[in-house]
Every structure is written in C-alpha cells, then in structure tokens.
Structure 1
Amino acid sequence: MKPSFYIVDDDPGIRRILSNIIDNYRLGYVIGQAKDGKEAINEIEELIPDIALVDLLLPSADGIEIVKKIKNKNINTQLIMISEVTSKEMISDAYKSGIEFFINKPINVIEVVSIVENAIETLNLKKALTLIGKTMKNSNYRIFKDNTNNVENDIKEEIGKVFSDIGILGEAGSNDLMNIIKIIADERKQLGVKFHKYRASDLYRKLNQKYKDENKPVVSVKAIEQRVRRVIQSSLENIASLGIEDYGNIKFEKYSTSLFDFTEVKRQMDYIRKKSSYRGKISVKKFIEGIFNHIDT
C-alpha cells in the first residue's frame, strides 16, 4: 500500500505544489494539510501519516518544535523538513530534533521526488525490521495480531484518498465527515450488512456525543451539520471546476456522478460560468454512499 503524507506549510501554494508532486508521481496520497504548527501537531497525532513534510518556519510553532513534540509522543511518522534556510546550524538543529531528510526551497520537483522515494525506502525497511522483530518474539515464529486497527486505518486512508482527489482534505468539516463515515462503517460491521438506512440528523447527534465521550472540543449538532454540508458543497464546486477545465478529466468522470446528482453538477458549472444564479445542490446521503462505493469496507 502506498504511504500516506501530511503537509505542513503556511504557504498554500507550496502545499499545493507538494500535493501535486505526490499525486502526479504516484508516491502516495495526502491525508491532511495544515498552515500552522499547533494545528499540525494535533492532526498528525490523530491521523498518524507515514510521512510528514514540515516547513521549518511556521506561525504558532516552528518546524523543529513540531518534530520534537511528535517524537516525544512516540508517533511513528517519518519527518522531512522543508525550508529555504541555508544556515548550517539551523539545519543541524533540525536533524538533531529528529528529522530524517531535508528539502530545500524553492521547491525542485526532481529533488522532492528523489528525497521522498528515499524516505519511502527507509520507511519500508523499518516496517520490515519491525515485522521481523515481532516474528522473532513469538516462540512459534508466527504473527498473531488484531486486525481491527489495521482495518480502521485502511478505511481512513481510503477515505483520505477520495477527499484528496476532490480537494477537501484539511478543510473545516472534512474531519467531521470522515468520522461520520466511520460511524456508519462501524454500525454496518456490527449489523453484518453492506447497507442500512439512517438519518443524517442522527449521525450529527452521534458525532456530537462521540466528541463528548472522547473529551474533544465539542460544537453543537447544528454546527456539525453546517460544517459537513459546507465541505460537501465545497467538493461539488471543486468537481464542477474540474469539469469546466476538462470535461474528460479522470477525477471529474469518477466523482461527478457517484457523489452528486449530475444535474446539480451541471447547475454548479453554469453558476461558476455565471450562466445561472443558482448553485448546484448537494445530498449528504448520496455523497456518503458514494464515498462507500469508492472504498473497500
């Protein structure tokens, strides 16, 4: 399975360039992005990406501070520092803090691909050594493990790939939406079914309760609904924009009918072109079921 990436940079242009390189060169897929250090630390702890690309100079917490906190939390994420800083002392401090690779700014595609491929090779080697270690600890040289966490991580990774494709990873509401999809997946697993009926309003209440149970920052049920609808509307706008640029775009063909009513996609395209004053409408349930069609649950 391809590795997952998390990008931390306060420049949206740099985040977009790195994301495109990862996607275009099939290096893996981006499961999250952040523009400041504090947000990055919290999300990396929750998402646990395989590789994180972190800018050295950031608001609220610099790259070195991020690396140190991630290392202190024993998060097994490989860290690559990005910076235009040329000071040997600062670069040395970055390596001492726990980074394993360094990418210079301005971004050079060949350098990024080369370093990321080295990071992936190192990552795979570490995984192989860990597997050997676990095997050797077992007296019968067999591996026994609970697949529950692996299955959950696989689902999160697949959802993250779709979110990345439709341009909503890291947007407010995307985490709510991912948690809602996981709630549905868990319920279907317990029921032993591939599909069951539900009401979107019940899902918002369940997510609200989940946040309370996990002692996470709690927002109202209504706020959760608004964030979810807003992020789905944003994905509709992104897909419609792809269709305007290239009607034969692979992502447009893949998601325009599976996540939305195509009539609404065309209406959104007309709205963007200023041919209509009406936006396309979204269906939360159609969008969610469309996501399930794109992931292996």
Structure 2
Amino acid sequence: MNPSFYIVDDDKGIRKVLKNIIDQYNLGDVIGEAEEGISAIDDIKSLRPKIVLVDLLLPGMDGIAIVSTLKDMDLNLDTNYIMISQVNSKEMVSKAYTQGVEFYINKPINVVEVVSIINKVKEKLKMQEVIHSFEKAIHSMSMLKEYTGGKEVNILSEKDRIKKILSHLGILGESGSNEIVEIILILLEQKQDFRGKLLNQKISELFGMLVQRYWDNYEISINVATIEQRIRRAINKALKNLANLGIEDYSNDTFIKYGNTIFDFEEVRKQMDYIRGKSNYGGKISVRKFIEGIMMEMKNES
C-alpha cells in the first residue's frame, strides 16, 4: 500500500511539481497541502499522513518549528518528515535532523533526488511494518505460552527488557529505538569473548552487522549512515530527557539509575547547564557507552 503525503510550501509551483512527481512515479497519494505552518499543523494532526514534505523557509513558522511542534505534541502520528530547502547551512541542516527530520531535499527540485529520497523513506516504512508484524507475532506466541504454562523464550525476555529501559528513558517511540534494540540483540547473540571484541571495534562495524541483518531477515536495504543518524538522534533525546529529569528532581530514580551508567555523568551535567541557559554547549553522547550501559543494566537485573 502506497503511503499518504502532505506538502507544506509557500510556493504553489513547488507544491504542484512535487504532486506531479509523486503521481507520475506512483509514489503514493497526496492527501493535503498548505502554504503556511498553522493550518499545516492542524491538517497533519487530523489527516495523519505517513510522509510530510515541508519547506524550511516559510512565512511565520518555519519548517523546523512545524516538525518540532508536532513532535512535542506527542500525538503518536508515526509521520516521517522530509525537509525541502535551498539553504545549505550545515547548522540549519543539523538542527533539522535533531528536531526529527528524516531526510533533506535541495532546491531547485530535482526529480531523481525526490524519487530517490521518497523511496528511502518508503523502505523505512516497510521495515517498520515488518518489525511491527514480527513483534505482534512474538507477543501472540508469548501469550499462548503463558496460557499453556510454557516459559517465555530468552530472546523475547531480552527484547522486552531492552525496550523497558528505552521506555524509562522516553525514547521507545523514536525511529532509532528499533535499531538500538536490534544491535543489543546482535551482541547478546554472540559468545562472550566475541561480544567484547565487537564492542572494542569501531561502532560502525556493529552498524554494518545490523545492515546485513535487515537484508537477510527482511530484504530491506538501508545504509550505515542512516542507521547511525537514527541511533544518535534517539540517544541525544535520551540525554535531554534524563537531564530534564535531573533538573526537575535531582533524586529522581531514573536520573540516579541511568545518569552514570549509559552516559558519562559529566555530559549529563553539561546538558543540564545547557537547558538552564548556563552554557552554550550541551552534553555529548557515546553510542558505545550507551549500549554497554544498557547491557550492564540488563545483567544487574538478571
């Protein structure tokens, strides 16, 4: 089933070009469009499109603000955002990715680029559907085992425990959370000595194994850079959430439990100072420490 699209651009000509490309290449169905942010937000909330193409520079509310506002509403939209702009500022592009934009299309519009980017997002949607179906099947098997008095298989228990930790950190719904779960499962499937070697290698080696896993299990093609981007964005969100918990209540159980295991506490403190406006720089993350920290928490709870 083709995905639904919503287009936000103050240039009517650009909206028409994008609609024509989507129709001509049978990429999906355009269910709405807008030329400014407020009406776009209202429409996206009600129409719940799978993919939103949004211009960066808009009158009143820019594209990043639109995406950020929708994300903050926590509407469980399951919407993917593609930013469109002729601005090539690295800072602006980085900010867009941080706020939840999945991909970037440059102006002037290039048909090949638009088709390529949209197909990448469609691959991601397909992957999410496969994983969701897989999880539903496992959940049904788990309920059946419980009903018949059987024991839950280890892989399910491990997966649920990882997701429980991600839920505590407030990132279970982030696009990179699935990748984090799968990478930890890959590590847990290895023998202890090989697992240690993997963790001591470049983290990109693990990303590469995940790329291969997606292809072998689901025939889904995805590149290492995309996986890294999603994982880093999810971990950054966890750092922000943890820092906010510490600011609200320094004795918060989640803050105490994870503040020095999955992150370097000095980086958490820097993020807290940044949120308070005391610093111009937030904390930094380490994907390796985050993954090792979660595995350590699982070991301590077992």
TM value normalised by structure 1: 0.53
Deviation at 1:47, TM superposition (A): 2.2
Structure 2: how far apart are the matches of 1:177 and 1:49?
Answer: 20
Aligned twin of 1:212: 215
Aligned twin of 2:162: 159
Aligned twin of 2:291: 288
Deviation at 1:216, TM superposition (A): 4.2
1:99-140 CA distance string (max 9 Å, x none)? xxxxxxxxxxxxxxxxxxxxxxxx6xx656523xx8xxxxxx
Q: Does the 8 Å CA contact 1:180/1:207 hold for their aligned counterparts?
A: yes
Aligned twin of 2:84: none
Aligned twin of 2:190: 187
1:157-207 CA distance string (max 9 Å, x none)? 110110000001020111011111111111235858799633201011111
Which amino acid in the other structure matches residue 287 of structure 2? V
Aligned twin of 1:246: 249
Gaps of 5+ in 2: 1-44, 47-74, 80-124
Aligned twin of 1:274: 277
Q: 1:45 aligns with which of 102, 109, 133?
A: 133
- Inter-CA distance 195–241: structure 2 relative to 1 (3 Å threshold): same
- Inter-CA distance 36–174: structure 2 relative to 1 (3 Å threshold): closer
User: Secondary structure at 1:214's aligned position in 2?
Assistant: helix
- Inter-CA distance 195–43: structure 2 relative to 1 (3 Å threshold): closer
Deviation at 1:45, TM superposition (A): 2.0
Equivalenced residue count is: 182
Q: Does the 8 Å CA contact 2:198/2:205 hold for their aligned counterparts?
A: no
Which amino acid in the other structure matches residue 171 of structure 1? E
Structure 2: how far apart are the matches of 1:219 and 1:213?
Answer: 12
Q: Does the 8 Å CA contact 1:259/1:291 hold for their aligned counterparts?
A: yes
Which amino acid in the other structure matches residue 234 of structure 2? V
Which amino acid in the other structure matches residue 169 of structure 1? L
Deviation at 1:44, TM superposition (A): 3.8
Which amino acid in the other structure matches residue 233 of structure 1? N
TM value normalised by structure 2: 0.52
Matched, 1:200 2:288: no
Structure 1: how far apart are the matches of 2:203 and 2:193?
Answer: 19
Structure 2: how far apart are the matches of 1:248 and 1:293?
Answer: 22
Q: Does the 8 Å CA contact 2:198/2:206 hold for their aligned counterparts?
A: no
- Inter-CA distance 274–212: structure 2 relative to 1 (3 Å threshold): same
Structure 2: how far apart are the matches of 1:166 and 1:175?
Answer: 14
Deviation at 1:213, TM superposition (A): 1.2
Q: Does the 8 Å CA contact 1:180/1:203 hold for their aligned counterparts?
A: yes
Query: Which deviates further from its counterpart, 225-234 or 149-158?
Result: 149-158
Identity of aligned residues (%): 39
What is the correspondence of 1:12-51 to structure 2 with a 5 Å cutoff?
A: 35=77, 42-48=130-136
Aligned twin of 2:240: 237
Which amino acid in the other structure matches residue 46 of structure 1? F
Which amino acid in the other structure matches residue 47 of structure 1? E
Structure 2: how far apart are the matches of 1:222 and 1:193?
Answer: 23
Q: Kindly report the root-mean-square deviation, in angstroms, between the aligned alpha carbons of the 2 structures.
A: 3.4
Which amino acid in the other structure matches residue 171 of structure 2? I
Aligned twin of 2:148: 130
Aligned twin of 2:41: none
- Inter-CA distance 284–193: structure 2 relative to 1 (3 Å threshold): closer
Aligned twin of 1:224: 227
1:249-273 CA distance string (max 9 Å, x none)? 0000000100111110010011111
Q: Does the 8 Å CA contact 1:188/1:194 hold for their aligned counterparts?
A: no
Which amino acid in the other structure matches residue 185 of structure 1? L
User: Secondary structure at 1:154's aligned position in 2?
Assistant: helix
Structure 1: how far apart are the matches of 2:155 and 2:255?
Answer: 27
Which amino acid in the other structure matches residue 210 of structure 1? R
